C-alpha cells in the first residue's frame, strides 16, 4: 500500500489559451486535505480560469488535474460533481423565480423522474440542521438579498457532500460581517468533515484570517505558494503586482461647495414586488463633492440608483439635474453629462455578446466622431477610441473585438469605468464600484472617482463598504427604510451613531 497523498487535489502545469491570449501559463496548485487554500491575483490574473479548468468547465490545453492520488480526466462539471468536487461560481447560478428548496433539489446530479416534493422538503429540512447556516427554504430566490443568495449557493454545494469545495469570490457581494459569518462556518467545516476548500478572494483580511495556504497568480503565471503563517498582506501584495505596493493616496482637492447639481425631492419607488422601498427620499449633491450613502443593503439604495440610471420608474417625486427636470432620457444624460457606474456591470451596463469596442461606444455612438450627421457609424473610430481606452485604462482583453462577456469581472468594470469617466462627467452616480476588484484596481478606481470630483463633478456614491464611504466622501448620509435618516461628515462622524442609524434605531 502506498501512503495516501496529503493532497486532496492537485493541478499540475495547467496551460490554457483563449485565442492568442494565454490565460494560464503552466500553473500548478496543491490543495492539502482538510485545509482552506486561498487563490490570489489581480483582476484577469486567471483565477477563475484555473478553477474552471479544474471543474472541467474549460478543457486545459496542457496539464493534468490529480484528484485523490490519481490523475483524473474531468471533462465537464458533471464529472467533477460525481468525483465530489463542488464549485460556487463568481456569478449567481440560482434560478431566480424558483424557491430555494426547488433550487437545492434541482442541483442534485441524479434526479428521479418524478419528484416527491413533500418528501424532498422534509429531508431538506432535516439536512439543513447540519448546515453551517440557515436559509429560508420556501422563499423565492428573487426575493433574497445577495448575501442570502450566496449562502444558498454554498449550501447547494454542501448538500452534495463534496470532498473539495471551490468558491470563486464568494464574499464579493457580502458585507464584511456576512463574509466573516460565511467564512468562519466554512472553515469550521473543513475540520469537522473531510472537506478541503479552495477559495478565490481579493481581500487580504480574509486570507489572513481564514486560509491555511495561499497561491498567487499574476497575469496567467504561477508566482508562488506559501502558508499563511509565513505571509503578510504586504508580502502577498508584492507577489500579486510584482513590486512593492504603491499606496498612492487619494488626492482630494480643496474646493468650495458648488451649485446643487443633483436634486432628489420626495422620491417614492417600489421594488419588483410592489413594496415601497424608497419612501419620500430627499437628497442634494453639489458640484465638486462626493456624497456617500451608507446603509445596510435592502434599504432602497438599489432602487434609488436604478431610478437615477433610468432602469426603474419612480412612483412619484422629482429628480432634477442643474435645476431641470430629469427623466433619464439620452438627451438629458448628454446635456448634463450624467454618467453612472452601477453594480454588476455586466448585467447593468454592458451588452455581453457585443464587442468591447461597441460596449465602449455605448454613450456616444450616436454623435460625432462615432457617427456622421446622417447617422452612419464610423467603425474605424469605434476601434481607434477603444484601443486608446484599453491602453489608458489597462483593460486586459483578448482584443477589442472580443465579446465583453469574455473579460474577467474586473476588466468588465474597468471598461465601464473608461466609458463613463472619459468625457468629464458633471453628475456621477456610483454604486458599489469595487465589488470583486483587486486592491490595485480599487485604489485606481477611487482615484479616478476622486479626480472626477476634483474636476467639479457632483458624485453620489452608494456603497455597502463603510470604509470606502468614509474614505471617499465629503458628506455621509445614512439610508434606512428608504429615507435618509442621518447626515454627517467623515471628519465629525461618530461610528457608533452611524451604526445605530444603519440598523434602524
Ligand X SMILES: Nc1ncnc2c1ncn2[C@@H]1O[C@H](COP(=O)(O)OP(=O)(O)OP(=O)(O)O)[C@@H](O)[C@H]1O
Name the 3-class secondary structure at 279: strand
Q: Which residue is nearest to Mg ion (CB)?
A: 48
Q: Which residue has the cell 432620457?
A: 329
Q: Which residues contact 429 (CB under 8 A, 6 or more apart)?
A: 262, 305, 308, 309, 338, 339, 340, 341, 342, 459, 460, 462
The one among 288, 342, 410, 433 contacting ligand X by CB under 6 A: 410
**Beta carbon nearer to other proteins, 22 or 260:** 22
Q: Does 56 bind other proteins (CB under 8 A)?
A: no
Q: Taking the alpha carbons of 181, 481, 283, 350 in that order, is the dihedral positive or negative?
A: positive
Q: From other proteins, ligand X, Mg ion, none, which one binds at residue 432 (CB under 5 to 8 Å depending on kind)?
A: none
Residue 202 gets the label, from left (phi > 0), alpha (psi -120 to 50) or beta, of alpha
The one among 27, 40, 41, 326 contacting ligand X by CB under 6 A: 41
The one among 23, 55, 65, 241 contacting ligand X by CB under 6 A: 23
Q: Does 398 bind other proteins (CB under 8 A)?
A: yes
Name the 3-class secondary structure at 62: strand
Q: Does 324 bind other proteins (CB under 8 A)?
A: no
Binders of ligand X among 382-401, rule CB under 6 A?
A: 396-398
Rounded to 5 degrees, what are φ and ψ at 154?
A: -70, -45
Q: Does 424 bind other proteins (CB under 8 A)?
A: no
The one among 29, 31, 48, 53 contacting ligand X by CB under 6 A: 48
Q: From Mg ion, ligand X, other proteins, none, which one binds at residue 407 (CB under 5 to 8 Å depending on kind)?
A: ligand X
The one among 31, 38, 46, 281 contacting ligand X by CB under 6 A: 46
Distance in Å, CB of 135 to ligand X, minimum: 25
Q: Does 310 bind other proteins (CB under 8 A)?
A: yes
**Beta carbon nearer to other proteins, 199 or 309:** 309
State the Cα–Cα distance between residues 172 and 168, nearest whole angstrom: 9
3-state secondary structure 73-116: CCCCHHHHHHHCEEEECCCCCCCCCCEHHHHHHHCCCCCCCCCC
**Beta carbon nearer to ligand X, 165 or 407:** 407
State the Cα–Cα distance between residues 484 and 467, nearest whole angstrom: 19
Q: From Mg ion, ligand X, other proteins, none, which one binds at residue 390 (CB under 5 to 8 Å depending on kind)?
A: other proteins
Q: Does 45 bind ligand X (CB under 6 A)?
A: yes
Binders of Mg ion among 76-95, rule CB under 5 A?
A: 90
Q: Grid coordinates standing for 275?
A: 413594496
Fill in the DSSP letter of residue 403. B
Distance in Å, CB of 310 to other proteins, minimum: 5
Burial of 26 from C-beta contacts in 10 A (0-12 / 13-18 / 19+): middle
* Contacting range for ligand X; rule: CB under 6 A; set: 17-25, 61-69, 207-215, 262-270: 17-25
The one among 78, 252, 330, 497 contacting other proteins by CB under 8 A: 330
Q: Do 76 and 44 contact (CB within 8 A), yes or no? A: no
Q: Does 371 bind other proteins (CB under 8 A)?
A: yes
**Beta carbon nearer to Mg ion, 201 or 303:** 201
Q: How far is CA 476 from the centre of its chain?
A: 23
Distance in Å, CB of 22 to ligand X, minimum: 9
The mark string for 13-32 relative to other proteins (x by CB under 8 A, - otherwise) is ----xxxxxx----------
Cα pseudo-dihedral 448, 449, 450, 455, rounded to 10: 90
Q: Do 72 and 65 contact (CB within 8 A), yes or no? A: yes
Residue 56 gets the label, from left (phi > 0), alpha (psi -120 to 50) or beta, of left
Closest CA to 83 of 56, 53, 50, 49: 56
Distance in Å, CB of 239 to other proteins, minimum: 16
The mark string for 196-225 relative to ligand X (x by CB under 6 A, - otherwise) is ------------------------------
Q: From Mg ion, ligand X, other proteins, none, which one binds at residue 207 (CB under 5 to 8 Å depending on kind)?
A: none
Q: Which residues contact 56 (CB under 8 A, 6 or more apart)?
A: 74, 75, 76, 77, 78, 79, 80
Binders of Mg ion among 352-411, rule CB under 5 A?
A: none
The H or E element spanning position 282 is: strand 276-286
Q: Do 404 and 412 contact (CB within 8 A), yes or no? A: yes
Q: Does 422 bind ligand X (CB under 6 A)?
A: no
The one among 394, 455, 456, 499 contacting other proteins by CB under 8 A: 394
Q: Do 388 and 416 contact (CB within 8 A), yes or no? A: no
The H or E element spanning position 26 is: strand 21-32
Q: Do 490 and 476 contact (CB within 8 A), yes or no? A: yes
The one among 10, 14, 24, 48 contacting Mg ion by CB under 5 A: 48
Residue 146 gets the label, from left (phi > 0), alpha (psi -120 to 50) or beta, of alpha
**Beta carbon nearer to other proteins, 125 or 401:** 401
**Beta carbon nearer to Mg ion, 90 or 463:** 90
Q: From ligand X, Mg ion, other proteins, none, which one binds at residue 99 (CB under 5 to 8 Å depending on kind)?
A: none
The one among 37, 47, 312, 322 contacting ligand X by CB under 6 A: 47
The one among 125, 266, 388, 391 contacting other proteins by CB under 8 A: 391
DSSP string, 258-271: --EEEEEEEEEEE-
Name the site residues for ligand X (rule: CB under 6 A).
18, 21, 23, 41, 43-49, 90, 396-398, 406-411
Name the site residues for Mg ion (rule: CB under 5 A).
48, 90
Amino acid at each position: 500500500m502506498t501512503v495516501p497523498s496529503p493532497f486532496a487535489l492537485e493541478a499540475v502545469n495547467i496551460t490554457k489559451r483563449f485565442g492568442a491570449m494565454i490565460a494560464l501559463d503552466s500553473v500548478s496548485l496543491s490543495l492539502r486535505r482538510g485545509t482552506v487554500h486561498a487563490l490570489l491575483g489581480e483582476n484577469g490574473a486567471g483565477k477563475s480560469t484555473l478553477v474552471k479548468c479544474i471543474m472541467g468547465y474549460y478543457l486545459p490545453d496542457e496539464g493534468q488535474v490529480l484528484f485523490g492520488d490519481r490523475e483524473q480526466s474531468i471533462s465537464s462539471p458533471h464529472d467533477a460533481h460525481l468525483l465530489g468536487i463542488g464549485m460556487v461560481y463568481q456569478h449567481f447560478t440560482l434560478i431566480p423565480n424558483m424557491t430555494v428548496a426547488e433550487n437545492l433539489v434541482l442541483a442534485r446530479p441524479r434526479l428521479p423522474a418524478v419528484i416527491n416534493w413533500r418528501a424532498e422538503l422534509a429531508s431538506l429540512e432535516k439536512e439543513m440542521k447540519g448546515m453551517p447556516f440557515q436559509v429560508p427554504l420556501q422563499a423565492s430566490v428573487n426575493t433574497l438579498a445577495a448575501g442570502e443568495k450566496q449562502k444558498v449557493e454554498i449550501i447547494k454545494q454542501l448538500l452534495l457532500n463534496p470532498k473539495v469545495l471551490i468558491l470563486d469570490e464568494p464574499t464579493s457581494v457580502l458585507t464584511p460581517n456576512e463574509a466573516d459569518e460565511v467564512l468562519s462556518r466554512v472553515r469550521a467545516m473543513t475540520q469537522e468533515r473531510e472537506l478541503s476548500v479552495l477559495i478565490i478572494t481579493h481581500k487580504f483580511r480574509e486570507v489572513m484570517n481564514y486560509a491555511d495556504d495561499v497561491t498567487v497568480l499574476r497575469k496567467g503565471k504561477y508566482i508562488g505558494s506559501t502558508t499563511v503563517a509565513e505571509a503578510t498582506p504586504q508580502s502577498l501584495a508584492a507577489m500579486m503586482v510584482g513590486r512593492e505596493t504603491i499606496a498612492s493616496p487619494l488626492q482630494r482637492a480643496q474646493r468650495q461647495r458648488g451649485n446643487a447639481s443633483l436634486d432628489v425631492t420626495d422620491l417614492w419607488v417600489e421594488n419588483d414586488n410592489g413594496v415601497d422601498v424608497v419612501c419620500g427620499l430627499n437628497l442634494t449633491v453639489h458640484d465638486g463633492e462626493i456624497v456617500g450613502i451608507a446603509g445596510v443593503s435592502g434599504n432602497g439604495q438599489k432602487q434609488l440608483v436604478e431610478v437615477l440610471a433610468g432602469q426603474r420608474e419612480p412612483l412619484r417625486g422629482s429628480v432634477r439635474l442643474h435645476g431641470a427636470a430629469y427623466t433619464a432620457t439620452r438627451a438629458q444624460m448628454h446635456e448634463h453629462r450624467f454618467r453612472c457606474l452601477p453594480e454588476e456591470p455586466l448585467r447593468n451596463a454592458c451588452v455581453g455578446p457585443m464587442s468591447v469596442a461597441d460596449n465602449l461606444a455605448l454613450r456616444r455612438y450616436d454623435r460625432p466622431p462615432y457617427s456622421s450627421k446622417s447617422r452612419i457609424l464610423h467603425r474605424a473610430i469605434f476601434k481607434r477610441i477603444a484601443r486608446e481606452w484599453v491602453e489608458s485604462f489597462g483593460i486586459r482583453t483578448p482584443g477589442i473585438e472580443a465579446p465583453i462577456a469574455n473579460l474577467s469581472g474586473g476588466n468588465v468594470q474597468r471598461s465601464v469605468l473608461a466609458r463613463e469617466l472619459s468625457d468629464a462627467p458633471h453628475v456621477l452616480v456610483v454604486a458599489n464600484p469595487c465589488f470583486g476588484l483587486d486592491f490595485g484596481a480599487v485604489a485606481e478606481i477611487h482615484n479616478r472617482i476622486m479626480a472626477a470630483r476634483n474636476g467639479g463633478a457632483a458624485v453620489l456614491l452608494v456603497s455597502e463598504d463603510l470604509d470606502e464611504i468614509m474614505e471617499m466622501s465629503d458628506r455621509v448620509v445614512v439610508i434606512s427604510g428608504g429615507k435618509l435618516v442621518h447626515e454627517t461628515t467623515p471628519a465629525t462622524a461618530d461610528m457608533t451613531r452611524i451604526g445605530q442609524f444603519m440598523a434602524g434605531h
